[in-house]
Chain A
């Protein structure tokens, strides 16, 4: 089974609406990261939240982390058509696994103009 599993697998919304994506994982982590990928391109780092943090903001992005439930959520507010992409969570277990991220399968977000 995957370390990071995103939910939903696909999300379709109208421009201006908020988009929420969830991620669950199984083992203890050092930090959790969210990445974005436009179709057929490389991944771009969006935001990182450490295991001792509960919430973090960056522009229109809000990430929460609940280590007791081993879950995280990514909220994109006031979505735009340009936000259309795949979004992945990735966990870093730290220690000897430092920097070796485990990715989920991603959520495909479509924002309709």
Chain B
């Protein structure tokens, strides 16, 4: 148990569906991240939120829409995805501007787009 909880753990959706991934951290951190892990590729940073403000959008397609309503919760809204978006989506949190930058990850949401 890392203190970062992701739901659902597995998700299968069609290309026309709309779904959301949820992440919750119980560590008192003030920065949250979405990473994408595809087969045979390094982890790709998608979004960073610091103090609930988006500070990074790494050229992610608009079919991925993040939301950070408070410092403990992070969502990734998904719509009209493509099969190549199938991947493990990892949420992480950290203390921004305090400490060395160690990330605490959730267990991930395995997404399959049909």
What is A's interface to B at a CB cutoff of 8 Å? 2, 4, 30-31, 33, 35, 40-45, 48, 50, 88, 90, 92, 94, 98-106
Contacts and interface: CB of A to CB of B under 8 A. Distances in A.
B71 to A, nearest CB: 14
A42 B101 contact: no
B97 A98 contact: yes
B107 to A, nearest CB: 4
Interface string B90-114: 1010111100111111111010000
Interface in B10-47: 31, 33, 40-43, 45
A45 B102 contact: yes
Contacts of A106: 42
The 7 closest A-B pairs by CB, nearest first: A42-B105, A103-B43, A99-B101, A42-B107, A43-B105, A92-B101, A103-B42
B45 A40 contact: no
A43 B42 contact: no
B105 A92 contact: no
Contact of A99 (B43, B96, B110): B96
Contacts, number: 74
Interface size band for B: 20 to 34
A40 B102 contact: no
Given A40-B110, A41-B108, A42-B108, A99 B103 contact: yes
Contacts of A101: 45, 101, 103
Given A33-B103, A43-B43, A102-B45, 16 more contacts: A2-B42, A33-B101, A40-B88, A42-B4, A42-B6, A42-B107, A48-B102, A88-B43, A98-B101, A99-B48, A99-B94, A99-B97, A99-B101, A100-B33, A103-B43, A105-B42
B2 A31 contact: no
B41 to A, nearest CB: 7
A41 B107 CA distance: 5
